[in-house]
Amino acid sequence: MQQLPPTGPSSLYRGVGDQEITKIIMIKTRRAVAADLPAVQELNLKLFKKEFAEFDKTLDCDWTMSDKGEKYFSDRISFNGGCVFVAEDDDGKIVGYLAGGLSENEASRLDTGPMAELENMFVEDSYRGQKIGSALMDEFIRWCKDNNVSRVRVIASPGNVGGIRFYERNGFFPLDLVLEKKL
């Protein structure tokens, strides 16, 4: 197999005589537009199903495609106080997204300036491990800086060790632990 420079995600294709051919797939990140809404909702549904199956049985997997879910993503795509970024391959297929926005500082904390929250993100399984999540994160951090944000938070399921490691590699650190008890 020919080694090509790591300029983006790659896929293996079988060529003539079972010769492996590597096709480099270029990934572009950009701010989402209204036409991206259905693809973002589909990715969010995959996120919810994964989170529900592995970590959180309280998630409502019907929310994503409901009127409330559509409104949430539409507002994030169009509202100045929020954002959605997408990653698309060279065929224009959206393979990942990140949604976030400005958030309130907790009343019991010192006011350290404007705060934002990375609310949800997902990258297709076949595209993971190729820095797409980090590229989306970079877009979000740039958006935060453009909006004079001084702190960014993200909430992750404690069992999502891979997700937590990803956030830590991107400069996040543990601050709170939220516990629940079912009655």
Q: What is the pTM of this model?
A: 0.84
Q: Does the pLDDT value for residue 7 go beyond 90?
A: no
Instruction: Report the 10 Å Cβ neighbour count for 49.
Output: 13
Whole-number pLDDT of residue 176: 85
What is the C-alpha to C-alpha distance for residues 25 and 113, in angstroms, rounded to an integer? 40
Whole-number pLDDT of residue 4: 24
The model's pLDDT over 9-57, given as tens digits with 9 standing for 90+, comes to 434 343 445 556 566 678 999 999 999 999 999 999 999 999 999 999 9
Q: Which helix (H) or strand (E) holds 24?
A: strand 20-24
* Domain map (residue ranges) of the chain: 27-169
Structure tokens at 122: 């997902």
Secondary structure (3-state) at 166: helix
Q: Longest Cα pair distance anywhere in the chain, in angstroms?
A: 66
CATH superfamily of 27-169: Gcn5-related N-acetyltransferase (GNAT) (3.40.630.30)
**Confidence band of 161 (pLDDT split at 50, 70, 90):** very high
